[in-house]
Amino acid sequence: MQIPALPVELVDFKPEIGLILGSGLGFFADDRIEVVGRLPYDKIEGFPVSTVPGHAGQFVYGTLEGKRVICMQGRFHYYEGYRMADLTLPIRLMHRIGVHTLFVTNAAGGINLDYTPGDFMMLSDHINFLGTNPLIGWQGDEGVRFPDMTEVYDGALRARIRDWAKAHSVDLKEGVYLATTGPSFETPAEIRAFAALGADAVGMSTVPEAIVARTLNMRVLGISCITNAAAGISKTELSHEDVSETADRVRPQFADLLAAGVQLA
């Protein structure tokens, strides 16, 4: 697969930090970034487009906390029918133009019984339950063919953010994220199985992007917004609308946490 060309103004901007904004979290680009430019995905030849509500479908680039950043205001998911190579193409593109640190955010269901909707969880590790790997079949010459995954989510950066959260009285959880394909939510039996595997939260994204970023030797930091209790734990039926409503309720706290993470990177 060819990595598409980007407008010269974005290449010349030389972003250093990339952010992927998950379901209901796209507001961050508009609220916190001093925007220099926007690039809709459909303006990039051969690039995927977002098909999920709450994903605007564009790159937003500018400055944040003195850092040059590029945001994905809307990501791609395996359940949209894209190949793994398609949905991780933005990571390879960001690496190509100079991004060295990637913040991956998502909306997730809480499996850990200590989690409640509105909590934030910093990813300490992940479980790939997608049934595939984004590195299968990749023919490019960038990155490591057999990357080590001992520490996907950067330990030093996590420690700095953990200290910031403690100093600012932010109740930041830390745990293991498990990725499924979706788009159906999980069954109660699946959630019990995932808990037995050691998962604290479950979602439908993040893991492919993180794997590719580490292959390219990028630092990775993951943050989940726990938008609902998972099936069998929740007392109500799950819906995408509830996910968006919870994300909207905690947007100031989420924005403060993510902005602090960028400053500390």
Q: Which of 1, 79, 174, 234 is catalytic?
A: 79
Question: Residue 61's closest CA among 119, 4, 3, 17?
Answer: 17
Distance CA 22, CA 55 (A): 8
228 has catalytic annotation: yes
Treating both helix axes as pointing N-terminal to C-terminal, what angle do 240-249 and 251-264 enclose, rounded to 10 degrees?
Answer: 70
Sign of the alpha-carbon torsion through 156, 157, 161, 167: positive
Q: Which of 1, 82, 190, 240 is catalytic?
A: 240
CA dihedral 45, 46, 51, 57 (to 10 degrees): -40
Which token pair is 80?
A: 């949209």
168 has catalytic annotation: no
95 has catalytic annotation: no
Q: Which of 50, 112, 224, 228 is catalytic?
A: 228
Q: Which of 29, 55, 122, 195 is catalytic?
A: 55
Q: Which of 56, 84, 94, 107 is catalytic?
A: 107
Distance CA 24, CA 56 (A): 10
Q: Which of 29, 80, 84, 247 is catalytic?
A: 80
Buried b / exposed e along 153-182 (16+ C-beta atoms within 10 A): bbeebbebbeebbeeeeeebbbbbbbbbeb
Do 70 and 94 meet the contact criterion of CB atoms below 8 Å apart? yes
Say which amino acid occupies 84. M
29 has catalytic annotation: no
Q: Which of 50, 56, 61, 77 is catalytic?
A: 77
23 has catalytic annotation: yes
169 has catalytic annotation: no
55 has catalytic annotation: yes
Do 67 and 19 meet the contact criterion of CB atoms below 8 Å apart? no
Any idea which residues carry the catalytic annotation?
A: 23, 55, 77, 79-80, 107, 204-205, 228, 240
